[in-house]
Amino acid sequence: MKDFLNFINGVYVPSSAGKTFDNINPVNGQVIGRVHEAGRAEVDAAVAAARAALKGDWGRLSVVERCKLLDALALEINRRFDDFLQAEIADTGKPHALASHLDIPRGAANFQIFIDTIKSTSTEAFNMRTPDGKTALSYGVRVPRGVIAVVCPWNLPLLLMTWKVGPALACGNTVVVKPSEETPATATLLGEVMNAVGVPKGVYNVVHGFGPDSAGEFLTRHPDVDGITFTGETRTGEAIMKAAAEGVRPVSLEMGGKNAAVVFADCDLQVTIDTLTRSCFENTGQVCLGTERVYVERPIFDQVVAALKERAEAMKPGDPYAKDTKIGPAISQEHQAKILSYYDKAREEGATVVTGGGVPDMPDELKGGAWVQPTIWTGLPETASVITEEIFGPCCHISPFDSEDEVLAKVNNNRYGLATAVFTQDIARANRLAQQIEVGLCWINAWFLRDLRTPFGGSKQSGIGREGGVHSLEFYTELRNVMVKF
Ligand SMILES: NC(=O)C1=CN([C@@H]2O[C@H](COP(=O)(O)OP(=O)(O)OC[C@H]3O[C@@H](n4cnc5c(N)ncnc54)[C@H](O)[C@@H]3O)[C@@H](O)[C@H]2O)C=CC1
Ligand SMILES: O=Cc1ccc(S(=O)(=O)O)cc1
């Protein structure tokens, strides 16, 4: 049984109140660890350590020295690749092939990518004449925002945490991370990496626990936190915004989605089906960018439904380490129940279940896992729950459409606005749509293709702010203007 301790001021510490909760392997439902919950005392200590580090060795490092540490962090994550891989797989049950290609390499890259950004970003300068005939020069200086609270979800634990910790440290901040209660492992392990490469104590801290009346709330309401960056559900984001209002702290929020894919009859069908298979089912549909609404131009509707059905049925669930496993479990039995409740709702609302709709038959040793079948529905009106609400599972509804205007109206008719994927060979049409679809990210003939220099974030209830490349600097630094008269 593994103990997941809090990491405060460079040291692993247990819960001072002796409170722990179970870490469960979603593949089989077995308890694999004990997580030490942080109370107010641990959160206070973590924030104080982060504050002290800002004023200590860390605060005195030059950008070049900080970048050397970021580079060392990326190298050390890669050196301990297998440790991170095993930790991530134990927490999430995701297939080895996926975690080894996506989660862990991106965990390292998220430190590397911000080295170039921070070294090469300039600030503006203006020369002017003063009323008394002299000269003044204004220039901008980016200073670290301070102590950043990083509140993370469970779907891509290392990837999404380092996506925030990387730029935060590049900009000279210190962080207190609150990983999801479901996935404590990789954030905890990263503490060892910080110590190994010589990141000063107090720069990176981890507090474990839940949201309300636990580490999440204590951290986000803490008066000595200077900014909060969050990825997770929209409802949680609203609570965090309220917490941030106390003391007027800035927030960066990456939240839910109900992402659409739009498939025109002139698309490259092979590329479209390959991509939809990933966007609907990868990571068991637990990707904020994932597609849960597919709109297909009527002439190829039946063909797309049949092809995606075949792909969904070929997604073999199983042991994450087995070579033929294509899909893992949901993150927890609670999330499995949520997904299955939508499978029931779809049937009640009159859906045609093209495939799936339940729990797959698993071997005895995996029966306790949080398994759900990849599922496709057709035949529902746009008002149906599975078309309007985020499920965060391996499922999609496919509807036919007859015109560009019709599909545009349907895509935009949702409170979320995170991502859309459009499939067509008509680039003029694709660009026209990309400019009218109300989302933060629009892919054309692709999905989850990322250039980490570009802005990432959602519109409407999917988020506030953009992170990635120089856009991260807007949140992780304060831009100060200096004016010199001479
Ligand atoms: N837009 C994006 O980039 C992404 C969005 N998501 C969203 O995240 C959801 C899944 O992740 P979950 O971990 O279930 O989200 P969640 O919102 O339940 O939890 C996220 C984190 O917030 C913490 N938390 C919960 N209540 C809190 C409170 N009142 N104060 C402070 N912290 C609190 C949790 O402990 C966890 O660490 C999905 O439904 C999806 O919508 C997930 C990944 C990416
Ligand atoms: O699941 C949400 C998600 C996935 C990827 C990224 S990014 O590639 O790091 O930008 C962000 C959020």
Q: What was the pLDDT predicted at 377?
A: 99
Instruction: Compute, in angstroms, the gap from residue 332 CA to the centroid of ligand 1.
Output: 14
Number of domains making up the chain: 2
Q: What is the reported pTM?
A: 0.97
On whether the CB atoms of residues 417 and 440 are closer than 8 A, the answer is: yes
What letter represents residue 395's amino acid?
Answer: C
Q: How many residues does the chain have?
A: 486
Residue 455 lies in a domain: no
What letter represents residue 17's amino acid?
Answer: A
Instruction: Compute, in angstroms, the gap from residue 232 CA to the centroid of ligand 1.
Output: 3
Does the CB atom of residue 447 touch ligand 2 within 6 A? no
In this structure, are 161 and 290 located in the same domain?
no
On whether the CB atoms of residues 373 and 359 are closer than 8 A, the answer is: yes
- Confidence band, pLDDT 50/70/90 cuts, at residue 197: very high
Does the CB atom of residue 461 touch ligand 1 within 6 A? no
In this structure, are 211 and 287 located in the same domain?
no
Residue 456 lies in a domain: no
- Residue-wise DSSP of 230-271: EES-HHHHHHHHHHHHTTT--EEEE----EEEEE-TTS-HHH
In this structure, are 284 and 343 located in the same domain?
yes
Find the helix or strand (DSSP H, E) in which 330 lies. Answer: none
Residue from 92, 282, 289, 472 to probe ligand 2 pocket by mutation (most atoms less than 8 Å from CB): 289
d(CA 132, CA 32): 73
In this structure, are 433 and 418 located in the same domain?
yes
44-71 per-position pLDDT tens digit: 999 999 999 999 999 999 999 999 999 9
| Residue 102 DSSP class | I
Share of the chain above pLDDT 90, in %: 100
Residue from 151, 236, 335, 338 to probe ligand 1 pocket by mutation (most atoms less than 8 Å from CB): 236
In this structure, are 466 and 433 located in the same domain?
no
d(CA 139, CA 123): 7
According to DSSP, the residues that pair with 21 across neighbouring strands are 35
Does the CB atom of residue 339 touch ligand 2 within 6 A? no
Residue 199 lies in a domain: yes
Instruction: List the structure tokens of 421.
Output: 């994927």
211-234 per-position pLDDT tens digit: 999 999 999 999 999 999 999 999
Residue 311 lies in a domain: yes
Is the pLDDT at 363 greater than 90? The verdict is yes
Q: What was the pLDDT predicted at 329?
A: 98
Is the pLDDT at 1 greater than 90? The verdict is no
In this structure, are 244 and 275 located in the same domain?
no
Residue 219 lies in a domain: yes
Domain residues for 335? 259-450
Residue 268 lies in a domain: yes
Mean pLDDT within 402-419: 98
In this structure, are 100 and 25 located in the same domain?
yes
Mean pLDDT within 205-212: 98
State the CB neighbour count (10 A cutoff) for residue 16. 15
In this structure, are 145 and 263 located in the same domain?
no
Mean pLDDT within 24-36: 98
Instruction: Compute, in angstroms, the gap from residue 130 CA to the centroid of ligand 2.
Output: 47
- For residue 295, what is the domain's CATH number? 3.40.309.10
Closest ligand 2 atom to the C-alpha of 163? 9
Is the pLDDT at 462 greater than 90? The verdict is yes
In this structure, are 290 and 210 located in the same domain?
no
Q: What was the pLDDT predicted at 320?
A: 98
Residue 405 lies in a domain: yes
Does the CB atom of residue 239 touch ligand 1 within 6 A? yes
Is the pLDDT at 441 greater than 90? The verdict is yes
In this structure, are 190 and 328 located in the same domain?
no
Which residues are the active-site residues? Answer: 254
In this structure, are 425 and 347 located in the same domain?
yes
- For residue 71, what is the domain's CATH number? 3.40.605.10
d(CA 172, CA 111): 13
In this structure, are 245 and 276 located in the same domain?
no
